[in-house]
Amino acid sequence: MKPNAMMILIIGLIIVVLLAGCTAPQQPVPPATTPATPVPATPVVTAAQPSPPLLGTWTLISGLAGMGASNVLPGTTITATFADDGTVSGSAGCNNYVASYESRVNTLTIGTLATTLMTCDSPTGIMNQEQLFLSNLQGAATYAVSGDLLTIMDSDGKTLLTFRREGSVVTPVPFTGISWALETFKASSGSMVGVNPATTVNALFGADGKISGSAGCNSYTGAYTPSGQNGISIGPLATTLMFCGEPGVMDQETAYLANLQAAASYDVTSDGKLHLMDAAGIPVLVYSS
């Protein structure tokens, strides 16, 4: 081999060696991996919210009118149906109405009312009654349901409207249809005292769940609801608005009406007397037949 050819071969081998040393080593290829299967999120279970107890149809017993409550005029029917779609509707005595409502726990808000536009002439006072009812309904802030009774109050806790659930059966107390004359009552002093002999105070419990009578000066009417074996709740009561100037008459009337609405149970004794007791079982009113 010629010297020049040998030299060219040697130089070629050197270049190959150098190129091999400068080449970066190949990195190993990681084995293929299978993507992790995503874990499904645990569904959030929301407890079903109980239906508001005011759902259903209610018939008005009494409503705030002026200085006190007033029963519904005879011959008229006022209703309120609270639906689960957030609407309340019914009859206002003459016209039908509808509105939206919102209720949380025991709060109640009534939206703008829409009504039909009829005018009714009888009975006397029906349109005034309707206006008062719609105004009271619009003023609702809270409510309470006790058995078959629905009470709607304003933001100060004043009772605006009292309803009875439609279809509920009023079980008359065993002393209905008797005019009971008051003998003794719990006075503001806490003791039982006799009735002023110059006054007549009595109570008549009707089979329709209504109570009426004389409070000594004014007449009164209202509703009562029996419960259990001998439980009873009375009120709200509506009265006339006379003033009697004889000493002690108005104080007696105030105490009597308060005791009547504080009654929680009753007892008719073997001597034919009717006792009404408060929540503590203490007699507050004693009548004879």
| CATH code of the domain containing 141 | 2.40.128.270
Q: What proportion of the chain, given as a percentage, has pLDDT over 90? A: 46
Shared-domain flag, residues 61 and 117: yes
Shared-domain flag, residues 119 and 151: yes
Predicted local confidence at residue 87, as pLDDT: 93
Shared-domain flag, residues 153 and 222: no
Q: Domain count for the chain, please give it.
A: 2
Domain boundary (165, 199, 214) is at 165
Q: Has residue 42 been placed in a domain?
A: no
At residue 47 the predicted structure's pLDDT band, cuts being 50, 70 and 90, is very low
Between residues 255 and 70, which one has the greater pLDDT? 255
Domain boundary (122, 140, 165) is at 165
Shared-domain flag, residues 62 and 95: yes
pLDDT at 154 over 60: yes
Q: Has residue 37 been placed in a domain?
A: no
Per-residue pLDDT tens for 25-43?
A: 555 555 545 555 554 454 4
Q: Is this prediction's pTM over 0.75? A: no
At residue 172 the predicted structure's pLDDT band, cuts being 50, 70 and 90, is low
Domain around 191:
179-288
Q: Has residue 28 been placed in a domain?
A: no
Q: How far apart are CA 81 and CA 91, in angstroms?
A: 9
Q: Has residue 39 been placed in a domain?
A: no
Q: Has residue 244 been placed in a domain?
A: yes
| Beta-strand runs (E) in 2-138 | 56-65, 68-71, 79-82, 87-91, 96-104, 107-110, 114-115
Q: Has residue 96 been placed in a domain?
A: yes
